[in-house]
Amino acid sequence: MKKWQSKEEFKTRVHEWAKKIDMDVRVISIRVMKNKWASFAVGSRLLIFNAELLTMDKELGDYVIVHELLHFAVPNHGRLWKSLMRAHLGDYEALEARLNKKSISR
């Protein structure tokens, strides 16, 4: 599995997914987060990603990217969100399970 080479590469991937999903992202931040992999602010179109993602396989990064981007349109994890995740990533549950096995640095 391939790892991210830099923050810039990760941010480029966020923009690629945003274009594919047709979501407008204005600000992407990557920083140390203690309790989660990412967060977003709908009004400002801000996405914040945990810096620990840069040390992981790219497909796990894709999972978190798509997960957060979809929340701009779908605020919960209901049927619509799940079907969109499946449409974009296929078996997203397997990626979710892999990510859940990782511990967030404290």
Contact assessment for residue 96 and residue 52, using Cβ atoms and an 8 Å cutoff: no
**Mean pLDDT throughout 41-62?**
91
Dihedral of the CA atoms 12, 4, 28, 52 (nearest 10)? 170
Angle, helices 79-89/7-21, rounded to nearest 10 degrees: 120
Q: Tell me: the pLDDT tens digits for 18-44?
A: 999 999 898 999 999 988 999 988 778
Residue 53 has pLDDT above 70, yes or no: yes
Contact assessment for residue 50 and residue 32, using Cβ atoms and an 8 Å cutoff: yes
